[in-house]
Structure 1
Amino acid sequence: MVEGVNALVIFTDVRGFSRWSEANEVFVNLRGFVDGFMAILRSRFRAPAFEIRSRGDGALIYRRIGEDLSRAEVTRLLGRTLSAVRQVDADFARHCREFGRRVGHEAELHLGWGVVRGRVIAVDGDLAGHNVNKSARLCNEARPYGVIVDRDDFPDLPRDAGDFVEQERILRGMAPARVWVTGEIASQFIPRERLRETPEVHVAGTCLAEDGGRLKLLVARRSPGRRLFPGLLEGCGGQLRRSEAFADGVRRHFRSELGLDVDVLEDLHVLYTIREPGEPVIPGIRFLCRRAGTGEPVSANHSELRWVSTDEFMDIPDAEFVGDLKHEVIGLVRRYRAERR
């Protein structure tokens, strides 16, 4: 009988099993070790809610779930799953210690896990389909050990999830997968052919114009309702898009936010970092830009836009600027003037 069902799908696998099992003391006791491992899985993923299929030194675990779970229900489902995973990891560690003492051969083994949810095909008591394959692929990526969760299936982590990092993994024969990974996995070196990191990177620019041989700088005051840095002075910028060059990102932000075309002076730049309590660290690069054409800036996200002379700019108190922008721009203007001499 073939049936399409909505399911939570989990693959788990013993890391380092093949080489470890070659030892004579292990090989003759292998059935007992594997049976003990399966007993642990059954004790934490209990029937009839869960069904478990042995896969050599690993297992496929699944349960049927509702078709239309709310976002909160999906998060609770992940929370219960991760709790069971932690319990299995602890039980498995004890199982390995006891086995090692009994047979006289260390069992320094850990488990890798891959967790997804979605449509699968139930075929005569077994599972097939894309999500089954994806869970197996994620489990294989979970090295040296730990948990990988499909982030599209589980967009929110439960509060007690622990140490997870956002990544994008390139899976063999599949589209890149947005995932949550535990710290052990995130700390491993992975070549870019197999991993796409997804950090937030910012680009920014401060625009200058020349008026009768005198330089003017454009300053923009953030609206008081902004969550970060309300009412402070800035240039123009924001997130860099995927596959976008720094200068292209700066030009895009000036056009979309201020309606202004600029030439980005790519040799005149400085690195900066946004660090705010409770927020991720955001690296950025700030450029000095030159107004292109005669257009004047307009913005719905700023309470004030004005051109100021460099002397006026230097007289504005440091505390009115976002971060260390004032001194960064002063340094860039000095370099600009030095290069023009």
Structure 2
Amino acid sequence: MSEQGGRLPESGSALVIFTDVRGFSKWSEANEVFVNLRAFIDGFMAILRGRFKAPGYEILSRGDGALIYSPIDNDLTRIEVSRLLARTLTSIRQIEQDFQRHCGEFGRRVGHGADLKLGWGVVRGRVIYVGSDLAGHNVNKCARLCSEARPYGIVIDRDDFPDQPKAPAVVPQVRLVRSMGEVRVWVTQEIASQFVPRERLRETPEVHVAGTCFIEDSQGRIRLLVARRGMQRRLFPGLLEGCGGQLRRSETFADGIRRHFRQELGLDVQVLEDLHLFYAIREPGEPLIPGIRFLCKRVSNREPASANHSELRWISEEEFMDLSDDEFVGNLKTR
């Protein structure tokens, strides 16, 4: 795979994996750790080489992480792609178990804890071989996906691996990746449960859509869904809202509302497009964001669930009116 006779680097298809150690920089500042870092890194690299040892795999050190790759056929069948991902994830699980043992043994030996985790990015596609190294769009994308794997866990390019793996458990997301735009991914639960603030997912220009969802109970009474934002949220912590967020480019208002309800609350809703009003988000130091709010009806019996809200409940119209205006985001109640 090296250059020969001045030719351009050879290109081909490859499985590309990036991994790095989460929490490494701060942890390595301790004196007893710093003087033993070489042994720690060498042990980590030995674990990677032990699990990715099949012919064709190359492992390149990247500081506290590594680039791992293996050439693959250009025209894999869908079944072969699924099997490739399954083998890769099995190796990753084994490495994570080995890595935890390595951290424990290192901590006991040097007298300083090593509570560290691994982040992973996985893609496949065309690359350029430069000696024993790689270059190209897919290499950059894999590094970006590894950076998205926070606090730790695995991010997999969903366009490269369209079939959902059976293990570990993953969920589909769309991440706005720096310099690459929207990327469809599979993410493991550690990442899926982490709230990604809209500041990291901002479209340009930014337009919001929101929905207020209702159901009819067994006695024909209307109940509205209110969601209390978690206290960790930078904007409007602890206040009540419906559901919504940014509208994607070329996405209709109704499609945006349905997407947010599915992704944020696990609900399928019917958007009553004739019932809408305009609003604006105004915050000091933030750009003014226009929005449209719609009335929505739940179309299944599924109950809402969210890791990013401290409270979700269906309330009557009377309960809704009794709540103070100050408990709501913006002018949600008064409008």
Q: Same fold (TM over 0.5)?
A: yes
Structure 2 residue identity aligned to 1:243? E
The equivalent residue for 1:264 is: 274
User: What's the offset of the Cα at 1:140?
Assistant: 0.7
User: Structure 2 residue aligned with 1:6, among 9, 13, 16?
Assistant: 13
State the match for 1:142 in structure 2.
149
* Structure 1, gaps ≥5 residues long: 205-239, 251-261, 283-341
Shift of 1:179: 0.4
Alignment of 1:241-320 (within 5 A): 243-246=251-254, 264-266=274-276, 269-275=295-301
Change in CA separation of 1:203 and 1:116 when aligned onto 2, cut-off 3 Å: farther
- Which residue number in structure 2 is paired with residue 234 of structure 1? none
What's the secondary structure of 2:118's corresponding residue? strand
Structure 2 counterparts to residues 40-119 of structure 1, below 5 A: 40-119=47-126
- Structure 2: segments with no counterpart, 5+ residues: 4-8, 203-209, 214-246, 259-271, 278-293, 306-335
Q: 1:34 to 1:265 in 2, by over 3 A?
A: closer
- Does the CA-based 8 Å contact 1:51-1:61 persist in structure 2? yes
Whether 1:164 aligns to 2:170 is yes
Which whole-Å CA distance do the structure 1 matches of 2:256 and 2:45 have between them? Answer: 55
User: Would the alpha carbon gap of residues 274 and 103 (structure 1) be closer, same or farther in structure 2, given more than 3 Å must change?
Assistant: same
Which whole-Å deviations, capped at 9, do the CAs of 1:231-272 have from their partners, x for residues lacking one?
xxxxxxxxx99632249999xxxxxxxxxxx98244894531
Q: Which runs of 4+ in 1 moved over 6 A?
A: 201-204, 247-250
Root mean square deviation of aligned Cα: 3.4
* Aligned-pair identity (%): 63
Query: 1:172-187 maps to which residues of 2 (within 5 A)?
Result: 172-187=178-193
Cα displacement string for residues 186-242 of structure 1 (whole angstroms, at most 9, x for unaligned residues): 11121224348xxxx9999xxxxxxxxxxxxxxxxxxxxxxxxxxxxxxxxxxx996
Deviation at 1:49, TM superposition (A): 2.6
Separation in structure 2 between the aligned mates of residue 124 and residue 140 of structure 1, nearest angstrom = 25
The structure number with the bigger radius of gyration is 1
CA–CA separation in structure 1 for the residues paired with 2:138 and 2:192: 23
Q: Name 1:191's counterpart in structure 2.
A: 197
Letter aligned with residue 121 of structure 1: I
Structure 2: which amino acid aligns with 1:88? I
3-state secondary structure, aligned to 1:181:
strand
